[in-house]
Structure 1
Amino acid sequence: MQKAFLPALGLFFLVNICSGQSKEPANKVTRPLKFTKQQIAAESFESVDVFDVNNDKIPDLVSGAYWYEGPKFLNRHYIGEVKRFGEYWDDFSTVPLDVNGDNKIDFVTGGWFGKTLTWRENPGNGNEWPEHRIAEAGNIETTRAWDVDGDGIPEIIPNTPNDSLVIYRLVKNSQGKGTGRFEAHRIMGKHGHGLGFGDVNGDGRSDLLVENGWLEAPTQPFKQAWNFHEDFKLGTSSVPILVVDVNKDGLNDLIVGQAHSYGLHWYEQKKDKKSKKTTWLKHAIDLNNSQFHTMHWIDLDGDGQEELITGKRFRAHNGNDPGEFDPLGIYYYKWNGESFTKQIVSYGPFGEGKGAGIYFSVTDLTGSGRKDIIVAGKDGLYVFYNQGSE
């Protein structure tokens, strides 16, 4: 696909390190949640997701070379070899998807060092999971799945900072099931660290975001060019960059963590009523922690309002990032109508606090109706069971 770079006219960027302002009333005060911590494994893979591997209707954990059978996660099953490079395993995502249409959930992964996007086939019989090549994608920081065309089946989009931005679309058969093959759609050349997905301009179509701007989704995303708007500079930004209406003013804002430095911010979208010009006002959420590499926006406490869940990636660059040796932590941040308030899920030095890894999951593991937090990392694989508030 041909790329299009059409910078939006009259757009500029404002920086204001302060709490966000909103005219809406503060949300009802919710007491902090309590969590019970369970170590699943000492393995140092940095990615985990939750899905039903063996079709017993009980969620399982999948992380690196192993899957852990629910509901207790005590039985560990071997998936297959994952190559190691120093402190890193070349496995920077766990994207669940039935790739070959056999009604068994597979997963998509890839790594920085091998430069290959792959999928692991769920054999359904306890054997090792065959590995299949999707593409030589370049250095893969991590990968996410978003439904670009709205057909109910997500596309695979790796963040490849040294290479082109490419969407990999699953090829489906006449019954709408996966065939085990993907089509590659290049929408932009070299891009930076960070990737997001959401409707930036309010036209009803979800756009893609990179470190230095956003790509406007056309009506036919795999046939037409995506126009690039170079509106901002986000630094070594998180994956994902969240696109959400933080202050409920009808305009979607951005939430961005610094993956390899200090800082967690939200960028308020503002539009001048007369000129229709767009500006982005930067507000601090947390300046005291570093390596916010990944995050979720989800209702964690069950009050009907989403919370921001994130934390520090332990040894993201093996001791070479600012704040690498600070205490570890996982946090959730709650919007109170004016700013974000911080609550601690886990905090402390290595062995006490927990890092957030590069790809984690938030889902109800026990059927309690409360969402739990499942986190991998170089400091181990853990579940934080949500006990609710008292």
Structure 2
Amino acid sequence: MFLNQTTYATGTSPRSVAIVDVNSDNKPDIIVSNWNSKTVGVLLNNGNGTFLTQTTYTTGTNPGSVAVVDVNSENRTDIIDSNTYSNTVGVLLNTGSGTFLTQITYTTGSYPYSVAAVDVNSDNKPDVIVANAGSNTINVLLNTGSGTFLTKTTYATATYPESVAVVDVNDDNKPDIIVANLGSSTVSVLLHC
């Protein structure tokens, strides 16, 4: 059903991957967080099932998770990453040619492990939701629309939240937050009010 694998070099200890067109050529590119290299890598698609060597961008310490979304309404896909041991999330804005500006960071709780980007306040701007494994919390950072985010709002979770997802679970047309809590063997559901 599938051909044998083709591998592409990344940084040390790749942790998370996202697929999206970053250079507007209608070909899906690969974005990977390189945990021990403290970078995210972008592998551009050649269009024939192969990818160019990664271009790396410096992040905070130990990027654990990546999300891809247009954060500043320029019709370019930007990168958001969780910098686990820096206690920050980083935003790398797309220049339009498939390259990215230096990361802008925002303070989170302790050990941000997973990040999602979804509009949570119905202003048509994707906001950042991050699970903080070390502080048993999630943070919501609201998007200003200019590629920047407001200071975090914090919500409690169970022990060691390691993954976060956002979806409307109760059919009220509002996004709810679901968190996997590694330390307590539970999931938390935070309903939007």
2:97 is matched with which residue: 220, 223, 240? 220
Q: Where do 1:42-121 residues align within 5 Å? A: 104=1
**Shift of residue 298 of structure 1?**
2.9
CA contact (8 A) 1:160 1:191 kept: no
**Aligned equivalent of 2:72:** 201
SS in 2 for 1:238: strand
What corresponds to 1:50 in structure 2?
none
Unpaired runs of at least 5, structure 1:
1-103, 105-121, 124-129, 314-323, 337-390
Asked which structure has the greater RCO (Cα within 8 Å, sep 6+), the reply is 1
Q: Tell me if the contact between 1:161 and 1:190 (Cα under 8 Å) persists in the aligned partners.
A: no
Identity %: 19
Counterpart selection for 1:244 from 112, 118, 124 = 118
The CA distance in 2 between the partners of 1:252 and 1:217, in whole Å, is 15
Offset of residue 229 of structure 1: 4.5
For residue 192 of structure 2, what is the aligned residue in structure 1? 335
Residues 196-255 of structure 1: per-residue CA shift (max 9 Å, x gap): 22222222222112334311111111xxx411252413353233x222221123443211
TM-score by length of 2: 0.75
Kindly provide the CA deviation profile for residues 324-356 of structure 1, in whole angstroms up to 9, marking residues without a partner as x: 3xx3112333212xxxxxxxxxxxxxxxxxxxx
Instruction: Give the one of 147, 166, 190 matched to 1:297.
Output: 166
Could you tell me how far 1:138 is from its partner in structure 2?
Answer: 1.0
1:145 aligns with 2:19: yes
Q: How do residues 315-334 of structure 1 correspond to structure 2 at under 5 angstroms?
A: 324=183, 327-334=184-191
User: Is the contact between residue 199 and residue 252 of structure 1 (CA under 8 Å) also seen in structure 2?
Assistant: yes
The count of aligned residue pairs is: 183
For 1:188, the equivalent position in structure 2 comes to 57
Structure 2 contact 113–132 (Cα < 8 Å) conserved: yes
Q: How far is 1:166 from its partner? A: 0.8
Task: Kindly provide the amino acid, as one letter, of the partner of residue 30 in structure 2.
Answer: I
Inter-partner Cα distance in structure 2 for 1:228 and 1:209:
12
* Partner amino acid, structure 1, of 2:142: E
RMSD of aligned residue pairs (Cα, Å): 2.9
Deviations 1:279-314 (A, max 9, x none): 5122123x242333223223444554433232123x
Deviation (angstroms), 1:149: 3.5
The reply to whether residue 158 of structure 1 matches residue 32 of structure 2 is: yes
1:264 counterpart = 2:138:
yes
1:169 aligns with 2:44: yes
Gaps (5+ residues) in structure 2?
none
Structure label with greater radius of gyration: 1
Cα–Cα, structure 1 residues 206 and 190, in superposed 2: closer, same or farther, change >3 Å? closer
Identify the residue that residue 113 of structure 1 maps to in structure 2: none
Give the letter aligned to residue 290 of structure 1. Answer: T
Cα deviation, residue 142, structure 1:
2.8
1:139 and 1:166 mapped to 2: Cα distance? 12
